[in-house]
Amino acid sequence: MHDQKDSDGSGQNSPEFYNKLTASVPVILYTYWLSADGGEHRYPYVSRRVADWFGLEPEALQKSADAIFGIVHPDDLAGVGESIQASARNLTTWEHCARLKLTTGEYQWFEGHSEPERLSDGSTLWYGQFHNIQQYKELEQVLRESETEHSYQAGFQKLIADLSKEFINLQFGTIDECIRELLKTMGQFFEVDRAYLFSFSDDYQSMANTHEWVGPGVPALIDRQQSVYIGNLQWWQQQISGMVSTDKVVFIPDASGLPDIAGGEKEILERRGVSSMFAVPVKIRGRVTGFFGVDSLQKRNWREDQGDLLIIVSGLLSGALERHNLEQKLLSQSIRDPLTELHNRRYLMPRLEEMLGRAARKHEPFAVAMFDIDHFKQINDSLGHLAGDYVLTEFAGILVENTRSMDVVARFGGEEFMVAFALDDTDDVGGMVARILLAVRGHEFVFEDLPIEVTVSAGIAAVTDLPTIPSSPDPVIGKADHHLYLAKEAGRNCFVDASGVFRP
């Protein structure tokens, strides 16, 4: 929880230098790719500030870089192309100046700098940045006014550049490691006691501490802040509203001086030893999803531009989290069946291999049950494929409702489904499968006011049914499939395991 001073205090007003840095953002980070034959080019990554300056969407530039070359001044276009070709040919640093057209229609000089890398297919990839020369000259003038400030800002710019490169080259699955490194770097640079990241629930009634860095001797709080209800904290709710509506940076210069309305917040901060703190909103796809913050356990004098500096850090976090969320969404789509939203074979098979490994190493048993919807082809033929899709999704829901979180439920293909049951000595797989069959019988399947009679058959195979633990899931699946065949031969609407036919 953080408070920010009004515009007549020191929290919002910052030097002209940082207004330019945060509002105009004189650096655009990018990677630029050129095919081996020079016929294709695009920006695999480019900062969103390219939209602010030039009105170009990063998503479009990821497909083709033509739009960038369309805003180069006609007199400078040939030189840009020649310099890129020379850099690609010789693998030398690309440095060039050219006039680019802003959204206002005005041309201004920009300078680019990037390092090339030859890829295995003969194409070339550059990592670099470009900036507005005029703005940089103004920044340099400000920096010259104070050697101390120059040193501090140079250090901060280097940190941001290093972290930006790390996030640009972020590998799938390494987001947590990168965020922890960012928090550590920022915590040490700003000389605070804690740096952390919180996420909000969709209704902003609770929050959770997802990442935390603490200085030497400072107690960690992350384990106690996994689900914090904040709906009753009126003052903090007001600050969240400010974050959501105006990207407000919340600053508490002295926790003991919070207003009376913030009694609960004051008690929480004092209990955790916090003297002063900042919170900066973190956004994903334009929506505030949490905040990045820093704590000081001692009274201190903060820089007037502290909030602006933290906004830059928050921007890095926002971009990295947005990219990570997109990757997670794409991953989920690749391992889930789009119709039933159950996992598919791509997810199921590695889980079965893990279960086999635990069975071999730790003697942890498991079983699989293969389910097949009886006479499913007749449903499709008589009522249509939409009716068939309805039955599939309803049955998928029944499976989820009648299995445990530790079980793996997957659509195996067509009208076949599989459940992998993690077992202990007290578990009765037959009883669990019987419960599913009974749930199907008792469920009202009605599509477009037409009732549909649905039953399922199942085959069960436990890893202990096999003479030895196999090296792949295929023997277990094959035995479950054979038992399913026997269940259908026995008249359907039943299940078969190693003991025989059961009709619940």
pLDDT for res 12: 40
Asked if residues 278 and 243 have their Cβ atoms less than 8 Å apart, the reply is no
Average the pLDDT over 113-125 and give the result: 92
pLDDT for res 3: 42
* Model pLDDT for residues 247-274, shown as the tens digit of each residue: 888 899 999 889 989 988 999 999 898 9
Predicted confidence band of residue 14 (pLDDT cuts 50, 70, 90): very low
pLDDT for res 486: 97
Inter-residue long-range contacts of 13-17, CB under 8 Å, 24+ positions, other chains counted: 13/304, 14/304, 14/305, 14/307, 14/308, 15/142, 15/304, 15/305, 16/142, 17/139, 17/142, 17/143, 17/153, 17/305
DSSP state string for 154-185: HHHHHHHHHHHHHHHTPPTT-HHHHHHHHHHH
* % pLDDT > 90, the chain: 53
pLDDT for res 25: 46
Average the pLDDT over 372-397 and give the result: 95
* Model pLDDT for residues 360-379, shown as the tens digit of each residue: 888 889 999 999 999 999 99
**Position 48 pLDDT exceeds 70:** yes
Residue that wins the pLDDT comparison between 490 and 308? 490
- pTM listed for this prediction: 0.43
pLDDT for res 334: 64
Residue that wins the pLDDT comparison between 283 and 416? 416
**Position 10 pLDDT exceeds 50:** no
- Rounded Cα distance between 1 and 248, Å, is 12
* Model pLDDT for residues 54-86, shown as the tens digit of each residue: 999 999 999 999 999 999 999 999 999 999 999
pLDDT for res 286: 79
List C-alpha distances in Å: 285 to 198, 239, 280, 324, 325. Answer: 17, 21, 16, 12, 10
How buried is 405 (Cβ within 10 angstroms: 0-12 exposed, 13-18 middle, 19+ buried)?
exposed
Predicted confidence band of residue 177 (pLDDT cuts 50, 70, 90): confident
Encode 40-66: b = buried (16+ Cβ within 10 Å), e = exposed. Answer: ebbbebbbebbbebbebebebbeeebe
The Cβ of residue 225 has, within 10 Å, a number of other Cβ atoms equal to 16
Element (H, E) at 425: none
Average of per-residue pLDDT values in the chain? 85
In angstroms, how far is the first alpha carbon of the chain from the final one?
A: 57
Average the pLDDT over 38-63 and give the result: 91
pLDDT for res 183: 87
Contacts of 476 (CB under 8 A, 6+ apart): 352, 356, 368, 461, 463, 466, 470
* Model pLDDT for residues 284-337, shown as the tens digit of each residue: 777 888 998 899 998 888 877 777 778 877 777 776 676 656 555 555 556 788
Average the pLDDT over 222-242 and give the result: 91
pLDDT for res 20: 39
